[in-house]
Amino acid sequence: MNEQRIKEILNMEPDHRYVEIHGWIRTVRTSKNVTFLEVNDGSCLKNLQVVLDHQRKELADLVPSLRTGASVSVQGDIAPSLGKNQKLELNATAVALIGPSPEDYPLQKKRHSFEFLREIAHLRPRTNTFGAVARVRNAVCYGIHSFFQERGFIYVHTPIISSNDCEGAGETFQVTTLPLKDIPVKENGEVDFTKDFFGKKASLTVSGQLEGEVYALALTNVYTFGPTFRAENSNTSRHLAEFWMVEPEMAFCDIHGNMDLAEEFLKHIISYVLDHCTEDMNFFDTWVEKGVTASLHHVLDADFARITYDEAVDHLEKADRSFEFKPFWGADLQSEHEKYLTEEVFRKPVIVTGYPKEIKAFYMKQNDDGRTVAAMDILVPRLGEIIGGSERESDRTKLETRIKEMGLPKEDYWWYLDLRSYGTVPHAGFGLGLERFIQYITGMQNIRDVIPFPRAVNTAEF
């Protein structure tokens, strides 16, 4: 294994100590007496400049075969650099090509479009942008775990294969081993799922929440963090068919505790990334979304606005502008509405609570007014909704009524309803889409560029 990474070397003093590095050549510049290689190993954004002195014959002989994309190992000493772009460089004493030197490497020095890079997703992590996205994504995940672990939350693994489209959150992907050419049917012509692998209809999970509640009502504070699947048939820049979701669930917690935790959580992961990915975040600030780090610092300093859905609709109806979707009480907030509230009215994140029950899921706690539920969405500037959550209905009778009203199959929820008979308590939780969050903090426009291998309509090549 490689002992020394370029990130560590770049932080050393140029004291002529001897090192060995491994990486991939980003660029080659040759002049009469020397050749400069920019080598990157993914440990950080910056490349290490390697200098080959042509007076060393074995190095000069190697130069014609050193090309962009080649994998190399280099030994040498760290010296002060005369160039203005770096404080140190590696004076090579020995260079070895690890693999054959590519002559038709698809990644050239010019800037490639993100669309093109999606077609070569096996090579795009070797670009500045995708290396930075990967490191930021890694830090976000670490920050998520550290937030919950430091607060005594238990990480629970909820299933990927589920037999209830619990929330009606979206179109599901079915999981089946039935032969597609000869599907068993019942007398009434419907598919006979008793013959299927699980003996019933199954699909990929759209959320781990219902199972999260099971564990919260035993361990008090838990979180799930894993892949979720929605057969979103739309080609948007904010929807994937496979994405990651973080879902904490807290017993003995109401909607206010839920909001407090969610605000603290967002601030924690933002500051974790700003502290640990300074170089990558500066890169996004310069090349992807100007001002993105300042806007994140602003969020850290702000108390999130907290308003009710009624107040939100009020603001929208009074707005001196026309929206594409006219706001009215009872309609879901559209992304133009979310932008208006966060960017123009409050100029900071906004938590909206008390949505009409008709537009929210069956499990949300019904408010005393009979028309709203204890839902909370967190809206942020530039992106809109980033977190959706609620206090859950803990009263069995009310929950059963709601399931019936919404025409859901009550028998599928027997275990979920049982939680309200055996030791029910107020409890609450929320979900954060990991990729939406990464889009938000990096300013990356398309969600397909913040997950290594995007899954979307007609997209599953890599």
Binding site for ligand ATP (CB under 6 A): 169-170, 230, 232, 238-240, 243, 245, 385-388, 431, 433, 435-436, 447
Rg (CA), the chain: 27
Which CB atom, from 337 or from 436, has the smaller least distance to ligand ATP? 436
Residue 99: CB minimum distance to ligand ATP, A: 36
- Contact partners, residue 397, CB within 8 Å, separation at least 6: none
Nearer of residues 63 and 169 to ligand ATP, judged by Cβ:
169
Distance CA 102, CA 124 (A): 16
Q: Which residue has the CB atom at the shortest distance from ligand ATP?
A: 433
Per DSSP, the three-state class of 459 is: strand
Q: In 336-460, at which residue ranges do the beta strands (DSSP E only) sit?
A: 350-356, 372-380, 384-391, 427-433
Of 239 and 268, nearer to ligand ATP (C-beta) is 239
Nearer to ligand ATP, 39 or 383 (CB): 383
**What minimum distance in Å lies between the beta carbon of 436 and ligand ATP?**
4
What is d(CA 357, CA 100) in angstroms, rounded to the nearest whole number? 63
Whichever of 148 and 243 has its CB closer to ligand ATP, that residue is: 243
CB of residue 216 vs ligand ATP: minimum separation in angstroms?
Answer: 17
Q: In terms of CB distance, is 280 or 435 closer to ligand ATP? A: 435
Of 381 and 433, which CB lies nearer to ligand ATP in the complex structure? 433
Minimum separation from the CB atom of position 78 to ligand ATP (A) = 44
Would you say how long the chain is, in residues?
462
Nearest to 309 by CA among 324, 339, 326, 331: 331
Between CA 151 and CA 209 the distance in angstroms is 19
Residue-wise DSSP of 195-259:
GSTTSS-EEE-S-SHHHHHHHHHHHSEEEEEEEEE----S--SS--SEEEEEEEEEES--HHHHH
Q: CB of residue 240 vs ligand ATP: minimum separation in angstroms?
A: 4
| Distance (Å, whole) CA 92 – CA 52 | 6
Place of tokens 């990558």: 280
Least Å from the CB of residue 432 to ligand ATP = 6
Concatenating the DSSP letter of every residue in 276-331 gives H-HHHHHHHHHHTSTTHHHHHHHHHHSPPEEEEHHHHHHHHHH-SS--SSPP-TTS
| CB of 286 vs ligand ATP, minimal distance in Å | 26
Shortest distance, CB of residue 419 to ligand ATP, whole angstroms? 21
- Closer to ligand ATP at the Cβ: 41 or 247? 247
174 touches 205 (CB < 8 A): no
Nearest-approach distance from CB 341 to ligand ATP, in angstroms: 15
- Toward ligand ATP, which CB reaches closer, 31 or 234? 234
Residue 190 corresponds to which tokens in the numbers above?
């419907």
Chain-centroid distance of CA 435 in Å reads 2
| 20 neighbors 78 (Cβ within 8 angstroms) | no
Return the H-helix or E-strand segment holding 440. Answer: helix 434-442
